[in-house]
């Protein structure tokens, strides 16, 4: 039963990832693009953790944690760049 729920979550996250990709292509505002990219990274983290559960390996969790840390720093730098015109 938990495998069925994980497979449904994996499929739903994949649909959300495609919808987010279409949204980023449609957006005009740079801050909206940063926000959409941040949400897409969160969806990829969900996909990685679900894949880790389904395959019963732990290195997908390590990749998800690394991606989360990198995404946090990249979001801060991108927002500073959009607002101030320079990243640092």
Q: Which two tokens stand for residue 19?
A: 């919808």
pLDDT in tens, 34-79: 889 899 999 999 889 888 888 889 899 999 999 999 999 988 888 8
φ and ψ of 80, to 5 deg: -65, -40
pLDDT in tens, 9-24: 888 988 999 999 999 9
| pTM more than 0.85 | no
For the chain, the domain total comes to: 1
pLDDT band with cut points at 50, 70 and 90 for residue 84? confident
Domain enclosing residue 74, as ranges? 2-84
**DSSP, res 56:** T
């Amino acid at each position: 039963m938990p495998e069925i729920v994980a497979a449904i979550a994996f499929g739903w996250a994949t649909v959300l990832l495609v919808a987010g990709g279409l949204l980023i292509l449609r957006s005009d505002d740079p801050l909206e693009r940063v926000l959409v990219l941040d949400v897409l990274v969160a969806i990829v983290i969900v996909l990685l953790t679900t894949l880790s559960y389904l395959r019963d390996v732990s290195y997908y969790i390590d990749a998800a944690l690394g991606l989360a840390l990198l995404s946090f720093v990249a979001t801060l730098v991108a927002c500073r760049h959009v607002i101030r015109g320079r990243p640092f």
